[in-house]
Structure 1
Amino acid sequence: MSTASVSTASVNIASVNIAFVCMDADTLGGIQQVTHTLAQGLAERGHEVHVVGLHRAAEPFGYVERPRYRRHVVGRGPIGGEGAIARRLADRRLAAVLRGLAPGYAVLTSPAVVPRLLRLLPGGVRPIGQYHGSYQHARGSWHLGSIRRHYPRLDQAVFLSEDDALLFSEHALLPNTWVLPNPLARWPERVSPLTTPRVLGVGRLEGVKRFDRLISAFALASTPPWELHLLGDGAERERLRAHAAREGVSDRVVFRGRVAAADMAAEYRRAALLALTSEHEGLPLVLLEAAAHGVPSVAFDVSGGVRSAGPELVPPGDVRRFAAALGELMGSPGERRRLGAIARRRAEGFRLDGVLDRWEAMFAHMAR
């Protein structure tokens, strides 16, 4: 079996109807950020675009200031908080939205969305399944079984990298794989000078992100005046603060909390390095955003998506080798500049217009 992808050359297609359907479309998270970025971009190209949340976000986050697409929340409660009657009413609202799409496409953004939507899709609405994780992560969870069971019934199964699409094609027996990377919402004109002695860690302070490993690696690799700034919030904050104290770096690990999206460009420009120590990732936007700002990264080699972003790769979980990679870059401004320039050139391939071209090319392929 083979995977399908296309060049980023522009493809002229007529306006189409598209719905992106998420379990929860408005929580702060990578799937949601990518969904709203794609929806706005496709709407600005003249397509009729809808973003549908099956559940209401407990803490809604605004991704697009002036959306050109339509938004729907069909569930009245958070994930896991609705009964049978509420679920049936939500399905009726969802079916009404979907009927308005025909003919068109429904992009199902996670394995949890797919079985529910397949029951409700009207004729003329063609299903496209996205998977925002890696094959390695899917293999260790219920996701792989669900993908094997449901994704062959979709018109296309979309993955983030060639490596992951090939693995799913071979091991989940999918005949319909396609590769579409995450896009950068915007392209910065200004880059970091890489002179501020600061390492960034960006993401939710939760176990899967393994910021404890990043703190340990930073403690091994760094000396003053280097600081580690953690941007994000979550349940692990106090545990991580205590871990930094045990590692002897509590005075140089700065917990910044949640940073507004509009302020992130300035954060990247004030950084010299980005570090990613997650247990699993698909194609992390933070790697792409850092690269676009000319900031080199060090990351555990946990997926084809991570590899495609071009960071300095370290075997998963190897804190000492991660520390060595960090230390080498901390000590070499010239190497930081060299790798930062390479990272920015690579990030060109993830610019929004190019990724939108690839989406339109897929729609044109499906319409043939």
Structure 2
Amino acid sequence: MRALARKGKSAMRRLYRGYNRRKASSAPPPSTRQVRILLLHAYGMGGTIRTVFNLASYLAENHDVEIVSILKEAEEPFFPIDPRVRFRFLDDRINPGHDPVRAMLSKMPSRLIPKEESAYHRFNLWTDLRLARFIRSLDTGVLMATRPGLNLAMAQLAPPGVITIGQEHVALRTQPEPVQELIKWRYRRLDALVTLTKADLRDYRDTLPKKPRKLTRIPNAVPPMTGEISKLDAKVAVAVGRMTRIKGFHRLITAWETVAAAHPDWKLRIYGAGPQEENLAQQIVEAGLEGKVELPGPTTDVGAELEKASIYVLSSRHEGFPMTILEAMAKGLSIVSFNSPHGPKEMITNEVDGLLVKPRTNANLAASIIRVIEDEQLRRGLAARALETARTYDVDVIGRQWDDLLADLLARREAKTRPAVTPELPPPCP
């Protein structure tokens, strides 16, 4: 039976390759005119969504850009959208209709996304079908994916005429082992893999036995924000992020007990929502920090809230490339962050444009915050140099790197598809 199953799989692979060859022979010339970006939930809130919107807006200057969201779970977008960017939703979970096939397949687990992928529970057999149909319907242009499960599906299903770009927002080392194994063998099919940090780029170079055609690093750009630069006179520290265990807000609240004891006139505001919100609210009450630590909920105007603060604190256990640090730098805040080995460590130069703290050490985090509170000269110096750092992540600076990548990938494809020129033979000797 096993031998028969192997033969069946081998036959299916041959059929699939044959189909791809036929599709390639009739595909239009390679192009970067159309850019489609796969996203899990475009109308949700989170750093990845915000950065994808920012990139899409930049690319829309010279490309036809469409964001393809697997899910639609909200009527309106949380973040503002550039009107030039089009949207498509593969699974509308607000108005699903009465399709019996959809109803049946939605109850079955996904076979396309690995079980160990952090968003596996959001997928099902219906989303598999819709995603596979969409990817296989393409014949040219650029397809970009933004998380491991979608990168793996794209690498497996994208037709040969499509330029594929995998973008990683979470470090390779934080992925479960089974996902890393799939990455090792499927990512080689991508035209390009883009990481956000140099550390992650090194990890991929060391880990992948066969590399994608292009392996490069392009960090996120500072998104547009409302308001002015912080005046640094408000006795307020802020943190922003989804309220999950990995963000370490419970550690930040514990550290603030020490801060509040030394400086009761200072206040901490944590913006966001998520599964840990109730636990954090309870922790605040039990620590007697009511009125000193606030949970205002999520905000669509991050810039306005940062402008009202003087210090930004990042307490995450690990981060890929935290957009909130960039936003805080661009608003001229003094930053205190755990020294996560990827994003914060690369973005912040310790004692220059921020303070880096040994990870998961609540006492050290509290001591660094107190140091910034008590030393105004340090606070203003860190903030001024953070502004300079933020300018290196301007959208035009980062956007040009994407322009160069797309041009390079198109040139490689055109060189590959260009017919070979037969050299002229010299005339025969008389």
Contact 1:198–1:273, Cα closer than 8 Å, also in 2:
yes
Match of 2:275 in 1: 235
TM-superposed deviation, 1:257: 0.8
TM-score by length of 2: 0.75
Structure 1 CA distance for aligned equivalents of residues 63 and 398 of structure 2 = 15
Moved more, 233-242 or 323-332: 233-242
2:184 corresponds to 1:167:
no
- Check the 8 A contact 1:203/1:232 in 2, yes or no: yes
1:249 aligned to 2:289? yes
The amino acid across from 2:320 in the alignment is G
Instruction: Tell whether the 8 Å contact from 2:90 to 2:127 is kept in structure 1 after alignment.
Output: no
Q: For residues 286-308 of structure 1, give each alpha carbon's deviation from its aligned partner in whole angstroms, at most 9, with x where no partner exists.
A: 10000001002111122322223
Alpha-carbon distance in structure 1 between the residues aligned to 2:188 and 2:335 = 36
The separation in 2 between residues aligned to 1:206 and 1:30, in whole angstroms, is: 14
Partner of 2:62: 46
What's the counterpart of residue 180 of structure 2?
144
Change (3 A) 1:266 1:325: same
Task: Select the structure of larger CA radius of gyration.
Answer: 2
Alpha-carbon distance, 1:316 to partner: 1.4
**2:399: which partner in 1?**
356
In 2, Cα distance between the equivalents of 1:142 and 1:359? 30
Inter-partner Cα distance in structure 1 for 2:245 and 2:187: 29
Structure 2 unmatched runs, 5+: 1-30, 94-105, 107-119, 349-353, 412-430
Residue 29 in structure 1 maps to residue 46 in structure 2:
yes
Q: 2:427 maps to what in 1?
A: none
Match of 1:129 among 161, 166, 170: 166
Q: Give the structure 2 partner of residue 72 of structure 1.
A: 88
CA distance in 1, matches of 2:54, 2:203: 27
SS at structure 2 position matched to 1:71: strand
Letter in 1 for 2:394: R
How big is each residue's C-alpha offset from its partner over 1:196-235, in whole Å with a ceiling of 9 and x where there is no partner? Answer: 1111011112211110100111111232100001111222
8 Å Cα contact 1:135/1:303 also seen in 2: no
* Alpha-carbon shift at residue 188 of structure 1 (Å): 6.5
Identify the match of residue 250 of structure 2 among 212, 220, 223: 212
TM-score using structure 1 length: 0.87
State the shift of 1:89 in Å: 4.5
- CA shift for structure 1 position 278: 1.0
- 1:76-100 deviation line (CA, Å, top 9, x unaligned): 449746654664345324433x33x
Partner of 2:129: 88
Distance in 2, matches of 1:85 and 1:23, equals 14
AA aligned to 1:356 is G
Shift of 1:350: 1.1
2:330 aligned partner, one-letter code: A
- Paired positions, count: 347
Distance in structure 1 (CA, Å) of the matches to 2:265 and 2:150? 47
1:168–1:174 Cα contact (<8 Å) kept? no
Q: CA deviation at 1:115?
A: 2.7
The question of whether the paired residues in 1 share the 8 Å contact of 2:316 and 2:338 is answered with yes
Amino acid aligned to 1:205 = M
Q: What is the identity percentage for the equivalent residue pairs of Structure 1 and Structure 2?
A: 26
Aligned-partner Cα distance in 2 for 1:367–1:347: 30
Q: What amino acid is aligned across from residue 287 of structure 1 in structure 2?
A: I
Q: Is the alpha carbon distance of 1:229 and 1:81 closer, same or farther for their aligned partners in structure 2, counting shifts above 3 Å?
A: closer
The answer on whether the counterparts of 1:130 and 1:159 sit within 8 Å (CA) in structure 2 is yes
Distance 2:184 2:67 in 1: 26
List per-residue Cα deviations over 1:129-154 (Å, max 9, x = no partner). 1110124423x565433322321221
Deviation per CA, 1:259-313: give whole Å up to 9, x if none: 123xx22211111101111122111111000000100211112232222321421
Q: 1:119, CA displacement in angstroms? A: 3.7
CA RMSD of aligned residues (A): 2.3
Q: How big is each residue's C-alpha offset from its partner over 1:304-346, in whole Å with a ceiling of 9 and x where there is no partner? A: 2222321421121111111111110011111110000111100
Q: Which has the higher contact order (CA 8 A, sep 6+)?
A: 1
Task: Give distance in 1, aligned partners of 2:123 and 2:202.
Answer: 37
Contact persistence 1:205–1:211 (CA under 8 A): yes
Aligned to 2:35: 18
* CA drift at 1:54: 2.1
Change (3 A) 1:115 1:177: same
Amino acid at match of 1:92: R
User: Is the 1:136–1:303 Cα contact (8 Å) retained in structure 2?
Assistant: no
2:356 is aligned with 1:318: no
| Superposition pairs of residues 201-350 of structure 1, within 5 angstroms | 201-222=239-260, 223-261=263-301, 264-310=302-348, 311-350=354-393
Distance 2:126 2:252 in 1: 46
Distance 1:136-1:303 versus aligned 2 partners, 3 A rule:
farther
Contact 2:135 2:158 in 1 (8 A): no
2:73 alignment partner in structure 1: 57
